[in-house]
Structure 1
Amino acid sequence: MLHLASKSPRRRELLRMLGLDFGILDLDIPEHPAAGEPPEDYVRRVAREKAGAGLLKVVGQPDALVLGADTEVILGDRIYGKPADAADAADMLRSLSGRTHRVISALSLVSAGRELHAVSESEVRFAELSDADIAAYLATGEWDGKAGAYAIQGMAQAFVAHLSGSQSGVMGLPLFETARLLREFGLFPPSGASRRMEAAP
């Protein structure tokens, strides 16, 4: 059985779009880059650690498959994680205003005897944000718990002047790469979807 090692409601919603049945593993994994750790290595490591910790929780299930994911917003060499509070979120949004940043989403899909990994990288350019724009966005509460202090699926879409890459990846789970990994394990497309496609005229 497939398990998603994530607390994120967005990742759950995205994975459901693929028509799969899966369980949820609620984990607490430290998310702090090591000194000198490149952002790309950090994102990959956290995804692997989530998947590995999740697999330990279902060790009694021989057919268990665990998907771990991590998404980070990166400007230059700085990793913009989840803001500590509204003031921190405002600082992040001011830094991203009028600039292009990267969003890296890493995936790890692991079983007892196999593991696969993938990375999606997108570029997002924000328009210039006024103090009023930032204040209005902070009032929505969307920034809370979001890497880079914004949720692209919400009001922050109004800030995005250009997106190159995967919108689902920016949201937290790149569906193209996720489907590719699941296909390697024989889980995608799901059997119900296959039957529906065969029945279509």
Structure 2
Amino acid sequence: MSEIHRRDALKLIGLMAAAPTFSFSCTTQEPSESDAASQVATQPAADYERQFFTDHEFETVRVLSDLVIPADERSGSATDAGVPRFMDFVMTDEQLGGREAMEQRQTAMRGGLAWLDYQCRERFDALFVDCTEAQRRELLDLIAWPEDAPPDMEAGVEFFNSFRDLTASGFFSSKMGMEDVQYQGNTYVEEWTGCPDAVHEHIGLEEA
């Protein structure tokens, strides 16, 4: 990392410390019902093109999100489900809390990604995407459990908590994520006869 890049990273990290994390509603104003309804993040359109992340940031998001939700025997990874595109969409959608909230999300996200690179550079002399799997996990182990994190990792803890939540939101709102949890939507039931006896027994209830 060159000195100019190092200074840029430190500046972003400083801004990140002053910015709220990137939840879906980072505004201090009371939203109207219509505003509140619009703050539900949805998947971007199929023809959506990246607008916020640089190439390097997008690759960092891809690597990090796949560490949060890797592929397994049940479904693909976060990237397979389109989570990086979803995150780029969330970063640029003013309907999620308004322009001020959008800019705060962008600052927190960009600063957090710069924080990862800075920490990896200091520890391993490499950017996050260029580190080994073991090195990446070594850093993430310091911020993944807030109660055990060192005090000087607080900024990283807040970033990773928000990133992890956003990864889960993107994955489980995708087609792949819905199939992963076998979500079938609302199902029409002709006649409701109550909970099956097996369910009553399982939760320790007896019929009156």
Fold match, TM over 0.5?
A: no
Q: TM-score, normalised by structure 1?
A: 0.29
**Which one has more relative contact order, counting CA pairs under 8 Å at least 6 apart?**
2
- Bigger radius of gyration: 2
Q: TM-score, normalised by structure 2?
A: 0.28
**More helix per residue:** 2
**More strand per residue:** 1
